[in-house]
Amino acid sequence: MKIISYNVNGIRSAVNKGFTEFIQKEDPDIVCLQEIKANIEDINEELFTALGYYCYWLPAGKKGYSGVAILSKKPALSVVKGIGHDMFDFEGRILQADFEQFSVISCYFPSGTTGDIRQAIKYEFLDFFFKHIEQQREKYPRLIVCGDYNICHQPIDIHDPVSNKNSSGFLPAERAWMDKWFSAGMLDTFRMLNPDPHHYTWWSFRTDARSRNKGWRIDYISATDNLKPHIVGSGILNSYIHSDHCGSFVKLTFDD
Protein backbone atom coordinates (compact mmCIF):
# COMPACT_ATOMS: atom_id res chain seq x y z
CA MET A 1 0.00 0.00 0.00
CA LYS A 2 1.66 3.21 -1.18
CA ILE A 3 0.30 6.67 -0.39
CA ILE A 4 1.63 9.87 -1.94
CA SER A 5 0.90 13.40 -0.71
CA TYR A 6 1.66 16.35 -2.98
CA ASN A 7 0.95 20.08 -2.98
CA VAL A 8 0.75 20.52 -6.74
CA ASN A 9 0.27 24.33 -6.70
CA GLY A 10 -2.32 24.05 -9.44
CA ILE A 11 -3.43 20.67 -10.80
CA ARG A 12 -3.65 21.92 -14.38
CA SER A 13 -0.15 23.38 -14.22
CA ALA A 14 1.21 20.15 -12.73
CA VAL A 15 -0.41 18.08 -15.49
CA ASN A 16 1.27 20.29 -18.07
CA LYS A 17 4.59 19.47 -16.37
CA GLY A 18 4.14 15.70 -16.54
CA PHE A 19 2.16 14.97 -13.38
CA THR A 20 0.12 12.11 -14.86
CA GLU A 21 3.32 10.46 -16.08
CA PHE A 22 4.67 10.79 -12.54
CA ILE A 23 1.57 9.05 -11.15
CA GLN A 24 1.85 6.30 -13.72
CA LYS A 25 5.52 5.72 -12.90
CA GLU A 26 5.20 5.83 -9.09
CA ASP A 27 1.96 3.82 -9.17
CA PRO A 28 0.56 4.80 -5.74
CA ASP A 29 -2.60 3.25 -4.33
CA ILE A 30 -3.75 6.61 -2.96
CA VAL A 31 -2.77 10.17 -3.86
CA CYS A 32 -3.59 13.15 -1.63
CA LEU A 33 -3.40 16.50 -3.40
CA GLN A 34 -3.32 20.03 -2.04
CA GLU A 35 -3.71 23.39 -3.76
CA ILE A 36 -5.48 21.99 -6.79
CA LYS A 37 -6.57 25.57 -7.62
CA ALA A 38 -9.36 24.47 -9.93
CA ASN A 39 -13.07 23.85 -10.00
CA ILE A 40 -14.20 20.32 -10.82
CA GLU A 41 -15.42 21.32 -14.28
CA ASP A 42 -11.94 22.67 -15.07
CA ILE A 43 -10.19 19.37 -14.27
CA ASN A 44 -9.71 16.68 -16.91
CA GLU A 45 -10.69 13.83 -14.60
CA GLU A 46 -10.34 11.27 -17.39
CA LEU A 47 -6.56 11.63 -17.13
CA PHE A 48 -6.77 9.97 -13.72
CA THR A 49 -9.65 7.57 -14.26
CA ALA A 50 -7.73 6.21 -17.25
CA LEU A 51 -4.96 5.30 -14.81
CA GLY A 52 -7.44 3.41 -12.65
CA TYR A 53 -8.24 6.02 -9.99
CA TYR A 54 -11.48 7.03 -8.35
CA CYS A 55 -11.40 10.79 -7.89
CA TYR A 56 -12.69 12.83 -4.95
CA TRP A 57 -12.41 16.62 -5.18
CA LEU A 58 -12.98 19.51 -2.79
CA PRO A 59 -12.34 22.81 -4.59
CA ALA A 60 -12.34 26.10 -2.75
CA GLY A 61 -15.32 28.41 -3.08
CA LYS A 62 -12.94 31.03 -4.48
CA LYS A 63 -11.92 30.24 -8.03
CA GLY A 64 -8.26 29.36 -8.58
CA TYR A 65 -7.52 29.08 -4.85
CA SER A 66 -6.60 26.28 -2.45
CA GLY A 67 -8.61 23.04 -2.78
CA VAL A 68 -7.74 19.42 -2.00
CA ALA A 69 -8.35 16.01 -3.56
CA ILE A 70 -7.90 12.29 -3.03
CA LEU A 71 -7.31 9.78 -5.82
CA SER A 72 -7.63 6.10 -5.00
CA LYS A 73 -7.41 2.81 -6.87
CA LYS A 74 -10.16 1.44 -4.64
CA PRO A 75 -13.45 3.23 -4.12
CA ALA A 76 -13.82 4.92 -0.76
CA LEU A 77 -16.38 3.47 1.60
CA SER A 78 -17.39 7.04 2.41
CA VAL A 79 -16.12 10.57 1.81
CA VAL A 80 -16.39 13.55 4.16
CA LYS A 81 -15.93 17.04 2.72
CA GLY A 82 -14.86 19.74 5.17
CA ILE A 83 -14.67 19.84 8.96
CA GLY A 84 -17.75 21.87 9.89
CA HIS A 85 -16.12 25.32 9.88
CA ASP A 86 -17.55 27.76 7.37
CA MET A 87 -14.33 29.59 6.51
CA PHE A 88 -12.08 26.55 6.26
CA ASP A 89 -14.65 24.56 4.32
CA PHE A 90 -15.16 27.46 1.90
CA GLU A 91 -11.40 27.51 1.39
CA GLY A 92 -11.41 23.79 0.54
CA ARG A 93 -8.90 22.64 3.13
CA ILE A 94 -9.96 19.20 4.41
CA LEU A 95 -11.15 16.07 2.62
CA GLN A 96 -11.46 12.63 4.23
CA ALA A 97 -11.89 9.26 2.52
CA ASP A 98 -12.58 6.10 4.50
CA PHE A 99 -11.27 2.71 3.46
CA GLU A 100 -11.40 -0.75 4.99
CA GLN A 101 -8.03 -0.62 6.75
CA PHE A 102 -7.78 3.10 7.57
CA SER A 103 -9.11 6.57 6.81
CA VAL A 104 -7.01 9.15 4.98
CA ILE A 105 -7.25 12.93 5.09
CA SER A 106 -5.86 15.37 2.56
CA CYS A 107 -5.31 18.71 4.28
CA TYR A 108 -4.00 22.12 3.33
CA PHE A 109 -3.20 24.25 6.37
CA PRO A 110 -3.44 28.05 5.99
CA SER A 111 -0.28 30.06 5.51
CA GLY A 112 0.45 33.06 7.69
CA THR A 113 3.04 34.62 5.42
CA THR A 114 0.79 37.44 4.16
CA GLY A 115 0.40 39.14 7.53
CA ASP A 116 -1.05 39.14 11.02
CA ILE A 117 -4.66 38.51 9.98
CA ARG A 118 -3.85 35.30 8.14
CA GLN A 119 -1.45 34.24 10.90
CA ALA A 120 -4.31 34.57 13.40
CA ILE A 121 -6.51 32.50 11.06
CA LYS A 122 -3.76 29.91 10.89
CA TYR A 123 -3.72 29.59 14.69
CA GLU A 124 -7.51 29.30 14.70
CA PHE A 125 -7.23 26.51 12.16
CA LEU A 126 -4.59 24.67 14.20
CA ASP A 127 -6.79 24.66 17.30
CA PHE A 128 -9.91 23.65 15.39
CA PHE A 129 -8.14 20.95 13.39
CA PHE A 130 -6.51 19.40 16.46
CA LYS A 131 -9.89 19.05 18.16
CA HIS A 132 -11.42 17.72 14.96
CA ILE A 133 -8.81 14.97 14.68
CA GLU A 134 -9.28 14.05 18.34
CA GLN A 135 -12.98 13.55 17.59
CA GLN A 136 -12.33 11.70 14.35
CA ARG A 137 -9.98 9.24 16.04
CA GLU A 138 -12.81 8.05 18.25
CA LYS A 139 -14.69 6.95 15.13
CA TYR A 140 -11.73 6.21 12.85
CA PRO A 141 -8.91 4.85 15.07
CA ARG A 142 -6.57 4.26 12.11
CA LEU A 143 -6.02 7.66 10.52
CA ILE A 144 -3.47 8.99 8.03
CA VAL A 145 -3.25 12.77 7.71
CA CYS A 146 -1.47 13.86 4.52
CA GLY A 147 -0.80 17.38 3.48
CA ASP A 148 0.86 20.73 3.47
CA TYR A 149 0.98 21.73 7.15
CA ASN A 150 2.87 24.98 6.36
CA ILE A 151 5.05 24.43 9.45
CA CYS A 152 8.63 23.24 9.89
CA HIS A 153 8.71 21.22 13.07
CA GLN A 154 12.38 21.20 14.04
CA PRO A 155 15.59 23.01 13.04
CA ILE A 156 16.51 19.93 11.02
CA ASP A 157 13.47 20.63 8.83
CA ILE A 158 14.60 24.03 7.55
CA HIS A 159 17.77 25.10 5.78
CA ASP A 160 18.41 28.15 7.97
CA PRO A 161 16.68 27.94 11.36
CA VAL A 162 18.50 30.97 12.77
CA SER A 163 17.49 33.57 10.19
CA ASN A 164 13.97 32.13 9.95
CA LYS A 165 13.24 32.03 13.68
CA ASN A 166 10.69 34.84 13.30
CA SER A 167 9.23 33.62 10.00
CA SER A 168 5.71 32.28 9.68
CA GLY A 169 6.03 28.54 9.33
CA PHE A 170 8.80 28.33 11.91
CA LEU A 171 7.41 30.41 14.76
CA PRO A 172 7.68 29.04 18.31
CA ALA A 173 3.91 28.74 18.70
CA GLU A 174 3.61 26.83 15.42
CA ARG A 175 6.42 24.47 16.35
CA ALA A 176 4.84 23.96 19.78
CA TRP A 177 1.64 22.89 18.02
CA MET A 178 3.65 20.32 16.08
CA ASP A 179 5.16 19.09 19.36
CA LYS A 180 1.63 18.66 20.71
CA TRP A 181 0.49 16.96 17.50
CA PHE A 182 3.28 14.39 17.56
CA SER A 183 2.89 13.86 21.31
CA ALA A 184 -0.81 13.07 20.98
CA GLY A 185 -0.50 9.70 19.29
CA MET A 186 0.49 10.86 15.80
CA LEU A 187 3.65 9.72 14.00
CA ASP A 188 5.84 11.65 11.58
CA THR A 189 6.18 8.80 9.10
CA PHE A 190 9.10 10.42 7.29
CA ARG A 191 11.19 10.99 10.42
CA MET A 192 10.47 7.44 11.62
CA LEU A 193 12.79 6.14 8.93
CA ASN A 194 14.78 9.21 7.83
CA PRO A 195 16.52 10.92 10.79
CA ASP A 196 19.20 12.73 8.77
CA PRO A 197 19.09 16.44 7.77
CA HIS A 198 18.70 18.33 4.49
CA HIS A 199 15.40 16.76 3.41
CA TYR A 200 12.89 19.38 2.30
CA THR A 201 9.55 19.48 0.49
CA TRP A 202 9.24 23.16 -0.47
CA TRP A 203 11.62 25.67 -2.02
CA SER A 204 11.01 29.30 -2.88
CA PHE A 205 10.82 30.04 -6.59
CA ARG A 206 13.18 32.93 -5.86
CA THR A 207 16.98 32.89 -5.55
CA ASP A 208 17.35 29.49 -7.23
CA ALA A 209 16.56 27.89 -3.87
CA ARG A 210 15.73 24.43 -5.16
CA SER A 211 18.98 23.81 -7.02
CA ARG A 212 20.86 24.90 -3.88
CA ASN A 213 18.52 22.87 -1.63
CA LYS A 214 17.63 25.89 0.49
CA GLY A 215 14.27 24.48 1.47
CA TRP A 216 11.70 23.79 4.15
CA ARG A 217 10.00 20.51 5.12
CA ILE A 218 6.42 21.65 5.56
CA ASP A 219 4.61 18.68 4.00
CA TYR A 220 3.88 15.66 6.20
CA ILE A 221 2.22 12.28 6.21
CA SER A 222 1.16 11.71 9.81
CA ALA A 223 -0.29 8.43 11.01
CA THR A 224 -1.89 7.29 14.23
CA ASP A 225 0.60 5.36 16.32
CA ASN A 226 -1.41 2.13 16.00
CA LEU A 227 -0.26 2.07 12.36
CA LYS A 228 3.43 2.04 13.27
CA PRO A 229 3.84 -1.75 12.88
CA HIS A 230 2.44 -1.46 9.34
CA ILE A 231 4.79 1.28 8.09
CA VAL A 232 7.58 -0.22 5.99
CA GLY A 233 8.83 2.76 4.00
CA SER A 234 8.71 6.54 3.67
CA GLY A 235 10.49 9.21 1.73
CA ILE A 236 10.48 12.42 -0.31
CA LEU A 237 10.15 12.43 -4.10
CA ASN A 238 12.29 15.49 -4.81
CA SER A 239 13.57 14.39 -8.23
CA TYR A 240 10.24 15.31 -9.81
CA ILE A 241 9.41 18.96 -10.44
CA HIS A 242 5.76 19.88 -10.96
CA SER A 243 5.42 22.55 -8.26
CA ASP A 244 7.37 24.59 -5.72
CA HIS A 245 6.69 21.58 -3.45
CA CYS A 246 7.58 17.95 -4.04
CA GLY A 247 5.72 14.79 -3.18
CA SER A 248 6.13 12.61 -0.10
CA PHE A 249 5.21 8.95 0.31
CA VAL A 250 4.59 6.27 2.90
CA LYS A 251 4.36 2.52 2.33
CA LEU A 252 2.30 0.26 4.56
CA THR A 253 1.61 -3.44 4.66
CA PHE A 254 -1.43 -5.19 6.13
CA ASP A 255 -2.18 -8.81 6.85
CA ASP A 256 -5.68 -8.12 8.15
- pLDDT score for 114: 85
Phi, psi of 50 (to 5 degrees): -65, -25
Domain boundaries defined on the chain: 2-252
Q: Tell me whether residue 148 is one of the annotated catalytic residues.
A: yes
Q: Residue 55: pLDDT above 90?
A: yes
pLDDT tens digits along 11-47:
999 999 999 999 999 999 999 999 999 999 999 999 9
Instruction: Give the C-alpha separation, 187 to 191, whole Å.
Output: 8
Contact 76, 31 (CB under 8 A): no
Share of residues in the chain with pLDDT > 70 (%): 100
Q: pTM of the full predicted structure?
A: 0.97
Q: Residue 181: pLDDT above 70?
A: yes
Mean pLDDT of 220-237: 98
pLDDT tens digits along 112-130:
888 899 999 999 999 999 9
Q: Which of 29, 89, 98, 148 is catalytic?
A: 148
- pLDDT score for 96: 98
The CATH number assigned to the domain with range 2-252 reads 3.60.10.10
Mean pLDDT of 60-70: 95
Q: Which residue in 66, 70, 129, 55 sits closest to 102, CA to CA?
A: 70
Mean pLDDT of 148-170: 97
- pLDDT score for 256: 59
